Amino acid sequence: MTEKNKKYGIGIDTGGTYTDVVLVDLKDNRVMAAAKKSTTHHNLSIGISAGLQEILSDGKVGATEIETIAVSTTLATNAVVEGKGAKVGLLVVGGVKSFVLPIALIRYLHGGHNHLGEEDHPLDMEDLIDHIGDFKDHVQAYAVSAAMSIINPVHEKVVKKAIDLIDPGKPVFCSHKISDRPGVRERAATAVLNARLMPVMVDFFAGMRIALGKLDLTDKVVIVKGDATPMKMEEAVKNAAATFASGPAATALYGATCSNEKDALIVDVGGTTTDITMIHQGKPRIDQDGSMIGEWQTHVDAVEMFTSGIGGDSHVVLNNIGQVSVGPGRVVPLALSQDTPVPDWLGSGLRSQCVSLLPGLDVEIIQSDPVLQYVADNGPSTPAEIKEGLNIAEISLMKQIDDLVRTQTVIGAGFTPTDALHVLGRLDIGDPEPARKGAAILAAEMKITAEEFCLRVLNATEEKIVDSILDYILKIETSKGLEGVFPDYRNNKVVGISFSLKIPLIGIGAAAHCLLPGVAEKLQTEAVFPEYYEVGNALGALLIAAEG
């Protein structure tokens, strides 16, 4: 039986590895239930539904008592890092220099306006029609950016109308709709990234609607923007780039709210990445000039953050000189791999992971891909076996496997920091035996003990997080970053350099409690963990919704 006169909120955070769901009593901000489920990229509704089912399973709270659902995600951030998204055609109007963006095609047109809104040159309609004809069979979306369109957007509007007539049905993102700031290059980048990320957000919200539709809750959803403010789900589809840094924004606000520290670094250690954000005077720092998204300066407001491809499930390999290398690729830890035959296949290079099919994969999908068909016919296989069986070039094969793993069409299993923690008895969430066998094989290649190998794995992981923190701080303080100030500082033969951090680390995320104490020790500071640090992103999303 439900409690009378009470309202509740649900926070959801969908990351690259896990989806966190929390149920909170909004009267006193009491956490009533929390769940952590694997993010199911092939069908996002599965992971979200599983989390919702768990937090509502005891029947104490009914769907009609849910007042708001706040959602944060790192899917847009991950898509930029991984190069995913729509193929975009960019049309630039005005006398601007060429520039590089993540696009399929780009064309420049005469036209544009001056700072008074007066036409510099008439729009070249003949070229415009030709360019759209060139684009239409090669792009999935369009971005349009014209000189001084923030003063007079007429040329952008004409270009959009021409696209709608010649290549109807494809989304068109005009820069004057997305940004009111000067800078045709930055507005173009913002428009392009919105166009690229739109299908990622469409898939995400489709999964969200399916999961929430079962409870009739879709009209109560707000999405966290990267600047720690909320927006409606419909707006997020059209303004997908605004969700860049959504997860870190939620993390930062939770860390700032739930800590007594006014100045600190929020460090969110997940399975795939580590996100770092600074809070100053109890609030996250917002980059008001627009964020760097990947390599591109944009007009997207977001928390200042640094994302590093290192986490609990980062792939551990031996590099070409026999040293431990961790990340940025992610695999399923051996300790959590269940049905994968471990570790007879394990080694270095193309034998450092094993690929198996996602259970229940559609037969037509399998038959459409030679790699999937090979694994279906031969069972879980290493890239070395697939390469030999299909006679595929190594670079092409590994790119294809990476794409299949990211979409969870296949499952790639390998040794990770999570496995090292199992071997050393510091973590107990899976089966330690496969991890022990894997550690023994890799340690033998290095002629050291399995324990020593695992300690080296954790040290390498901690050092990557340390360097990411230092890089972030030095970019704030000097604008140069670690490589520009102290390149290869650990291996300097003349000068020994150490760093002392004067502010604490606030740990968030599933792997934080295992990895951040060592990071804090290396930086001569302390690591602090709020009560619900494992699901801090989801709680932060609710805090942002409440403030908005």
Pick from 88-97, 359-368, 460-469 the range whose average pLDDT is largest: 460-469
pLDDT mean over 307-327 = 87
Tell me the per-residue pLDDT of 224-263, one tens digit each, with 9 for 90 and over. 998 889 998 888 877 888 888 888 889 888 988 887 778 9
* DSSP letter for each residue of 431-446: -HHHHHHHHHHHHHHH
Q: Judge if 282 and 374 occupy the same domain.
A: no
Name residue 281's amino acid: Q
Contacting residues for 223 by C-beta, under 8 A, at least 6 apart: 71, 72, 73, 230, 231, 232, 233, 235, 236, 243, 246
Cα–Cα distance measured from residue 396 to residue 390, given in angstroms and rounded to the nearest whole number: 12
What pLDDT is attached to residue 548?
A: 66
Tell me the per-residue pLDDT of 40-70, one tens digit each, with 9 for 90 and over. 877 888 999 999 999 998 878 888 889 999 9
Q: Judge if 122 and 269 occupy the same domain.
A: no
What pLDDT is attached to residue 5?
A: 56
Q: Judge if 352 and 404 occupy the same domain.
A: yes
pLDDT mean over 376-398 = 91
Please write down the long-range contacts of 108-111, taking CB distance under 8 Å and 24 or more positions apart.
109/159, 111/146, 111/147, 111/155
Q: Judge if 444 and 324 occupy the same domain.
A: yes
Tell me: pLDDT of 4 over 60. no
For residue 510, is it within any domain?
yes
User: Where is the domain boundary, 151, 170, 189?
Assistant: 170
**Using 50, 70 and 90 to split pLDDT, how confident is the model at 2?**
very low
For residue 185, is it within any domain?
no
For residue 192, is it within any domain?
no
Cα–Cα distance measured from residue 20 to residue 539, given in angstroms and rounded to the nearest whole number: 9
How many domains does the chain contain in total?
4
Q: Judge if 373 and 475 occupy the same domain.
A: no
* Cα 339 to chain centroid, rounded: 27
For residue 196, is it within any domain?
no
β-bridge pairing 172-174 and 221-224: unpaired
Q: Judge if 27 and 137 occupy the same domain.
A: no
Supply the CATH number for residue 508's domain.
3.30.420
Note down the domain range covering 51: 8-80+201-256+539-547
User: Where is the domain boundary, 395, 416, 448?
Assistant: 448
* Whether 304 contacts 278, CB under 8 Å: yes
Q: Judge if 33 and 126 occupy the same domain.
A: no
* DSSP secondary structure letter of residue 292: E
User: Where is the domain boundary, 112, 147, 170?
Assistant: 170
pLDDT mean over 411-431 = 93
* ω into 122 cis (within 30 of 0): no
Beta bridge partners of 16: none
For residue 521, is it within any domain?
yes
Q: Judge if 439 and 325 occupy the same domain.
A: yes
Q: Judge if 355 and 211 occupy the same domain.
A: no
3 state DSSP class of 227? coil
For residue 193, is it within any domain?
no
CA separation, residue 274 to residues 11, 150, 157, 357, 410 (Å): 21, 36, 41, 28, 24
3 state DSSP class of 136? coil
For residue 442, is it within any domain?
yes
Contacting residues for 435 by C-beta, under 8 A, at least 6 apart: 333, 334, 335, 415, 418, 419, 420, 422, 423
Q: Judge if 426 and 324 occupy the same domain.
A: yes
* Whether 230 contacts 545, CB under 8 Å: yes
Cα–Cα distance measured from residue 119 to residue 95, given in angstroms and rounded to the nearest whole number: 12
Q: Judge if 212 and 299 occupy the same domain.
A: no
Residue 418: enclosing H or E segment and its boundaries?
A: helix 417-423
* DSSP letter for each residue of 332-372: EEGGG-TTS--STT--SGGGSEEEEEPTT--HHHHHT-HHH
Q: Judge if 73 and 16 occupy the same domain.
A: yes
Query: To the nearest whole percent, how much of the chain has pLDDT over 70?
Result: 96
Q: And the tokens for 372?
A: 């999937």
* Whether 251 contacts 275, CB under 8 Å: yes
Query: To the nearest whole percent, how much of the chain has pLDDT over 90?
Result: 45
For residue 186, is it within any domain?
no
Name residue 471's amino acid: D
Whole-prediction pTM: 0.81
